[in-house]
Amino acid sequence: MVYYCGTPVGTIAANDPTDGHPLNYDQVFIRDFIPSAIAFLLKGETDIVRNFLLHTLQLQSWEKTVDCYNPGQGLMPASFKVRTVPLEGDPANGTEEVLDPDFGEAAIGRVAPVDSGLWWIILLRAYGKSTGDYTLQERVDVQTGMKMILKLCLADGFDMFPTLLVTDGSCMIDRRMGIHGHPLEIQALFYSALRCAREMLISEDSALDLIRTLTSRLSALSFHIREYYWVDMGKLNEIYRYKTEEYSHEAVNKFNIYPDHLSPWLVDWIPNKGGYLVGNLQPAHMDFRFFSLGNLWAIVSSLATPEQAEGILDLIEARWVDFVGNMPMKICYPALQGEEWRIITGSDPKNTPWSYHNGGSWPTLLWQLTVACIKMGRPEMAERAIEVAEKRISRDRWPEYYDTRAARFVGKQARLYQTWSIAGYLVAKMLLDKPDAVKILTCEEDLALLEAMSCSLDANPRIKRKRKLKSTRIIV
């Protein structure tokens, strides 16, 4: 536990008593604290979650400067630690504690964390639904902080897509892994945070424009992900026969994906039943890797349709050995290898094939798998995964991650007694005992969003023109 002025404000990333060099694992990481926070909420120990939400809110960037440049206001730190410093002006009078945030300037690659603010909004809603205390989210400073995060994410730019454009290393995968652009993990968290914020924002004059923008973005984002990110055997057959270099609004292959981009592993690997949301989509590029967090959270947040959500779980069940093996769960599949690994990761010695973020297995993903399975009425899948983990995770001293294709070895650089490995397991067990508690995290299908999406498509003048031309065409 981490204390600030005598008050608990979070948990450190890892606490291995035999490790004399904790590096930055002695800090409170926002994304790492989430499973701990859910465990505290399920146990009824809510004060620490409230303290965490308020203190991280105070760390939100206002005039943060990194190498003479000011990042956007509303950025949440990746982590923070408590430092003891001399009292300002008179060191002889004693010391005081201060919170020292890291916005990415001290991280590997110096990349700002996009997911921190999104997780903060998701946790804020979970706190309210768990405690029934909505006064926290109604506070002026909390409403202001939430608006700042949303305005930063919803800011207009050059992008033509409703997805959030980010760089490598801006989420759980915090090293170079070729996920720059529009990675699924960020889009699922983005959608979830927008859904949560729409519930919590107070409908006052100053927020109406933001709520309208938010609702419009939700409709466009859900359509985009469901339509263009989804892959199953039927979609692969369609991609296999794509025509390329198509122009105009009538183009079927809208992103100019080349059929030769289909990887041999995928053609032989994908089952006839089931599918998933691809890892990334950009012009002439589809990252066909399966990323677990993004797919699981697409189920939790209802970003995926009910049929797609069932298909994702069907795929995990059909390829159980690949995703679970000896320890759930693979962070992504398959691993980058050979020349592809050298080019995309820069020969990263930590992200070697089937290690760390390059196909390693992370026990913390157990809790997200459990939430998704319970929501879809398939808790037995989560029970089966937990049974696999229980055979060795305690004996292995709760590692951060596991290596090799079947997750047989403890990760070569994995920290032991990793807090979110322990918390992820605890949350999974607690949710199986209290399955109704998943409602503090899940979102159901929103029919109003679907209707708005349908109306937007019908109101599109290009579509109208297209229909009119078809109905009045005369052959001479």
Half-sphere exposure of 195 (CA within 13 A, CB side): 29
The pair of three-digit structure tokens given for residue 74, joined into one six-digit string: 């509303």
Do residues 163 and 221 lie in contact, with contact meaning Cβ atoms separated by under 8 Å?
yes
The pair of three-digit structure tokens given for residue 89, joined into one six-digit string: 């002006």
- Write the CA distances from 289 to 97, 177, 281, 292, 457, integer angstroms: 44, 11, 11, 10, 30
Determine the pLDDT at residue 250: 85
Do residues 42 and 120 lie in contact, with contact meaning Cβ atoms separated by under 8 Å?
no
Q: Give residues with Cβ within 8 angstroms of 83, minimum separation 6.
A: 97, 98, 99, 100
User: Does 106 lie in the same domain as 199?
Assistant: no
User: Does 79 lie in the same domain as 219?
Assistant: no
Domain boundary among 97, 127, 157: 127
pLDDT, averaged per 10 consecutive residues of the chain (476 residues), comes to 95 92 91 98 97 95 68 88 84 84 82 94 98 96 96 90 94 94 98 97 91 95 97 95 87 91 92 97 95 98 98 98 97 97 96 98 98 98 98 97 97 96 98 98 89 68 45 49
User: Does 151 lie in the same domain as 53?
Assistant: no
User: Does 106 lie in the same domain as 200?
Assistant: no
- Provide the number of structural domains found in the chain: 2
Q: For residue 258, count CB atoms less than 10 angstroms from its CB and return exposed for 0-12, middle for 13-18, buried for 19 or more.
A: middle
- Write the CA distances from 462 to 227, 250, 254, 281, 468, integer angstroms: 19, 10, 15, 24, 10
User: Does 343 lie in the same domain as 303?
Assistant: yes
What distance, in Å, lies between the first and last C-alpha atoms of the chain? 80
Determine the pLDDT at residue 89: 65
User: Does 35 lie in the same domain as 153?
Assistant: no
256: domain CATH number is 1.50.10
The pair of three-digit structure tokens given for residue 124, joined into one six-digit string: 């804020």
DSSP state for residue 164 in the 8-state scheme? P
Q: Give residues with Cβ within 8 angstroms of 64, minimum separation 6.
A: 70, 71, 75, 103
Domain boundary among 103, 127, 151: 127
User: Does 155 lie in the same domain as 99?
Assistant: no
Q: Is 230 helix (H, G, I), strand (E, B) or coil?
A: strand
User: Does 206 lie in the same domain as 340?
Assistant: yes
Helices 47-59 and 140-154, packing angle to 10 deg: 60
Chain-centroid distance, C-alpha 424: 15
User: Does 7 lie in the same domain as 95?
Assistant: yes
User: Does 144 lie in the same domain as 7?
Assistant: no
CB atoms within 10 A of CB 159: 11
User: Does 122 lie in the same domain as 138?
Assistant: no
* Three-state helix/strand/coil letters over 234-251: HHHHHHHCCCCCCCCCCC
Structural domain range at position 277:
128-472
Residues composing the chain: 476
The pair of three-digit structure tokens given for residue 182, joined into one six-digit string: 């529009």
Domain boundary among 78, 104, 127: 127
User: Does 54 lie in the same domain as 139?
Assistant: no
